[in-house]
Every structure is written in C-alpha cells, then in structure tokens.
Amino acid sequence: MMMNLRGSLMGALCAWALVNGMMASASAQLVFGSTTTATTNPSAIYLDVTTGQTTTLWNSAANKKVNGVASDEAGGRLYSNDAARLNFWDYGNIGTVPTFIAGMYRSNGTTTTATGFDGLAWANGALYGSTSFASSTFTRGIYQIPLTPNASNQLITSQVWSDPDPTGTLVLGGLDFNPVDNLFYATQTTDSTGSGGFLTPGIFTIDVFGSGAFTRIADLPPGATRADGLAIGGGKLWITQQTGSLNQISIFPFDLTTMTYGDAINITLPDGSNRATGATWAPGALTAVPEPSTFALLAVAAGTGLWLRRRRSADLR
C-alpha cells in the first residue's frame, strides 16, 4: 500500500511537471514585438526558431505596441513598453492585453521628463532600458527601470551607463543581457557625429556592471540598417528587422562561438503597418508559471514520497 501511495504521489508530481514544462528541455523560443496602428495585427509574436511555428501573444490594442521587450524567466513575466509606457504580461495569458504599470521618466530632482525606451533587458533581477533620447539635461544610454511607481505614479529611472560620445547620435535599437559573461549586448544603428565616427553601426557589448567598456564585436547583418531587436539564447544572438517593402520581419541568428551569421528566418506580416522592434528569449512564455502555493504542494508531495521510500527501506531491513 505504501508503495502504491508513493508511486501515485510521484507519478502525479511527474505528470504535473511534464504538462507544465518543468521536466521538458527548454525549446528554442524567441519573442519579438512589432509596432502597428492596426489593432488586429500581432503586436507580440512567439517563435519556435527550430520549427518556424509562430503564436500571437497579444494584438496591437491601444498603447500595447512593443518598442522593447524583456523576459523575467523566474517570475514568468514579460515586460514591454510602448514608448514611455511600461506594461507587463504574465506567461500563458495568450490573447490577453498586457497590464499597464506606469509611465517611465528621467529626473534630476528639478526636471522630470517622460522617456521612451528603444530596448528592454532583464539583468540580475532588475529591468533595464536603452534610450536614444538626449537633451541638454539628460543623455542617451542605459537606465535601470523600477517596477513600482512613486507617489506621483511615475517610474523614475536611474542611469547606469551613458553614451561615451555625448556629441554623437548613439541609437541602441536592440538590447539584451547575457548572464554567461555579465555583459549587455546591443545593436547600434547610427553613425556617431563626433570622435571621428567611432560608433560605426554594429553589434556591441556594454560592460555596465564593470568597466563601462563599449566594444564593437561584429557588423550588423547585411542590409539590416534598422536592427531594432536583439535577444540572447541558445548560444546565439537573434537580431530582428522589418523589411517594409516585403511585409516581413527578418530574424538573423548570430553564433557567439563562431561569430558568424546563420540563415535568416523570415516571418510574413499581415500588412506594411507593422515594424519589427524589441526581442527577448523566453522559452516558457506559452505556459503559466504556477502560484507559490502550487510549488509548496509539490514540495510536500516530493517530501512525502521521500519519507515513504525511507520508511519502506526501513521495513525491509
């Protein structure tokens, strides 16, 4: 009887884990966004880069377009922004419009300005964004974005890295973080107007948590002059760009070991109003993350199974 009970508990645990993807290997999944004025067009698309199958996560309802997107895998949540508006979307809620959090701002204590971000990235348990909006008060660069608004319902961002050429025209279109080397990766799509044009378009690493070094590592894909999205996963960079005349989004895989591009993946768009933007690696985005209470029940079940196994071993002695 004890053996049957243990087998039932462990069998149920394994079945639940398989259904929810806990025991399945992480599949090669990319989420990329688009901006469009047509509310019936996809705004966030989930792509299996192995099979080419796509799933629309949500459509382009008002203020839910995607300029940047970042994945909190542990929390089972995507963060996306439409210009200066930050939203979140929980894994598994296919077809559900993201929830608005608040507007994003920069402030020096005197001047507070709403700020649109071109790319988002999740790094070391926090959200970051890249912005190309500069002024006499604020500079281009990477900012940490809080997830809880202040008393004025504003998300006041904090700059963690600034454009090394303040007279230039830095445009970080795509942004993501690589935990393997603790570096941010970004696509830079516009020549700098200062310092001899040393910011030639390409792929760069940014050592935000270290020296601050901004290092060019590769060219952009041929013809990808508006590479707005970048994601890191499976040992590759995934760079997205729209080809407007063809009504399609092109995704370029870049192998970080061989430092070479693979064959592009082309996704057809409903019409020319879509434009490829942010991208992130999110293998579990189609599956809801269990509530903490569910994890607790699983822990109890696993613990009970272990106790029964030890009890049975003792009975056989």
Options 1.10.12, 2.120.10, 2.20.28, 2.40.50; which CATH number does 21-287 get? 2.120.10
| Average pLDDT value for residue range 186-208 | 75
- Rg of the Cα atoms in the chain: 22
Point out which residues pair with 89 in neighbouring strands.
78
Most confident of 7-16, 194-203, 209-218: 209-218
Provide the mean pLDDT of the chain: 81
Q: What integer pLDDT is reported at residue 151 of this predicted model?
A: 96
Question: Does position 65 have pLDDT exceeding 70, yes or no?
Answer: yes
- The pLDDT value recorded for residue 244 is 63
Q: Are strands 154-162 and 141-145 parallel, antiparallel or unpaired?
A: antiparallel
Question: Residue 258 above 70 pLDDT?
Answer: yes
Residue 289: CB partners within 8 Å, gap ≥ 6?
75, 76, 77, 90, 91, 92
Residue ranges of domains in the chain:
1-20+297-317, 21-287
Q: What is the per-residue pLDDT for 226? A: 78
Q: What's residue 20's pLDDT?
A: 42
User: Which ranges of the chain would DSSP assign to H, the alpha helix?
Assistant: 2-19, 292-316
Tokens coding 247: 């009504």
Instruction: Indicate if the pLDDT at residue 25 is higher than 50.
Output: no
Give the H or E element holding residue 238. strand 236-243
**Which amino acid makes up residue 212?**
G
- Answer yes or no: is pLDDT of 85 > 60: yes
| Lowest-confidence segment of 7-11, 12-16, 38-42, 249-253 by average pLDDT | 12-16
Mean of pLDDT values over 44-66: 86
pTM: 0.82
